[in-house]
Amino acid sequence: MIKTFIKTHNLPNEFKELAEQYYQPLTDRIYSQFKQTENNYFVGVNGCQGSGKSTLSAYIAEYLTCTYDLNIVVMSLDDFYLAQDERNKLAKDVHPMLEKRGVPGTHDTVLLEHVISALKNNELPISIPTFNKATDNPNPKKDWTVIDKPVDIIILEGWCWGVTAQSDDQLISPVNSLENKNDSDIVWRRYVNQQLKTHYEPLYQSFDYWIALQAPSFGNVYRWRLEQEQKLEVKLQLSTSQAEKSGLMSATQILNFIQYFQRLTEHGIKTLPDFADTTFFLDANRKIADIKIKAPNIIDHQQQEVLK
């Protein structure tokens, strides 16, 4: 399974060691927890841009499918972004910075809540949206993913998924030049924070297990995000028209773009290790430098073997 996964996802051979040392035991822990429930099981995955959360989510799904014959659904919070015209309306009515997709308040949380509820209750068929980052709009509904059989485990990954709202005092000082220049009245920060508290945090309650991929600092995010865009550009050169590629960002645009994410990314770095069930601490090269597994009620794979 691992060789096929590496080839399919165009990963280096070193991924095999990473998977065997960290990802497989994690997935076995998730399976052990799932087996203790009578319902389907929800897993949240948090990680900043380029941290590897999509690859980790795909591996967990593949491993569970191949090893335990489970039906797994993987979703990305990115696929729930609002369309351009909806964000333009927010930019006009609330704050100009909401025109950019990314922060809480730029997702369709009504649709997200509906999909989570439908998956939880196996209300089939279920249509899951997909978003085209090149055109900066959702794909047509005819191209959405349709789930037509009961699901065992649902994985939802996102850069701010699992992050909690900040206090009012934490919003006062800008964290970068973007906030200092464009949000001097704190309208954008307060709106994003309230959206997180009102529309995202309640959805966390449906999730049974949380994973965090922690960058060493926000300083690594630019390089990781730039690598993502370069990979997307290569992919689009092979699969889409030149017109669709117009949505790609230059290095300068990415540097400006990631400032929208800085506040909550840094807040997550501070808070998620106390919230997540498993936290992987990454180094500057995205290799796992340390791991934290929250107790109680977590029995790892090796412990299971001892207890048999």
pLDDT tens digits, 7-35 = 999 999 999 999 999 999 999 999 999 99
Can you tell me the distance from the alpha carbon of 207 to that of 169, in angstroms, rounded to the nearest whole number? 29
Phi, psi of 100 (to 5 degrees): -85, 130
35-48: b (≥16 Cβ within 10 Å) or e:
eeeeebbbbbbbbb
Q: Taking all residues of the chain, what is their mean pLDDT, rounded to a whole number?
A: 90
- For the chain, domains (ranges, CATH) are 37-159+168-278 (3.40.50.300)
Q: How many CB atoms lie within 10 A of CB 85?
A: 8
C-alpha pair distances (Å), 169 with each of 115, 165, 174, 176, 179:
34, 12, 11, 16, 15
Share of the chain above pLDDT 90, in %: 78
pLDDT of residue 225: 80
Peptide bond into 125 cis (omega under 30): yes
Can you tell me the distance from the alpha carbon of 93 to that of 115, in angstroms, rounded to the nearest whole number? 27
Reported as a pLDDT band with limits 50, 70 and 90, residue 237 is low
Least confident of 57-66, 171-180, 185-194, 211-220: 211-220
Can you tell me the distance from the alpha carbon of 240 to that of 250, in angstroms, rounded to the nearest whole number? 18
**Per-residue pLDDT reduced to its tens digit, 65-108:** 999 999 999 999 999 999 999 999 999 999 999 999 999 999 99
Q: Please give the average per-residue pLDDT across 103-119, as a whole number.
A: 98
pLDDT of residue 308: 33
Q: What is the pTM of this model?
A: 0.89
Least confident of 15-19, 224-228, 236-240: 236-240
The two most distant CA atoms of the chain are separated, in Å, by 62
Q: Please give the average per-residue pLDDT across 172-191, as a whole number.
A: 97
Joined tokens for residue 69: 């014959």
Sequence-ordered strand ranges (E) for the chain: 41-47, 72-76, 126-128, 131-132, 137-138, 145-147, 153-158, 209-214, 278-282, 288-293
Contact 129, 109 (CB under 8 A): no
Q: Please give the average per-residue pLDDT across 267-279, as a whole number.
A: 96
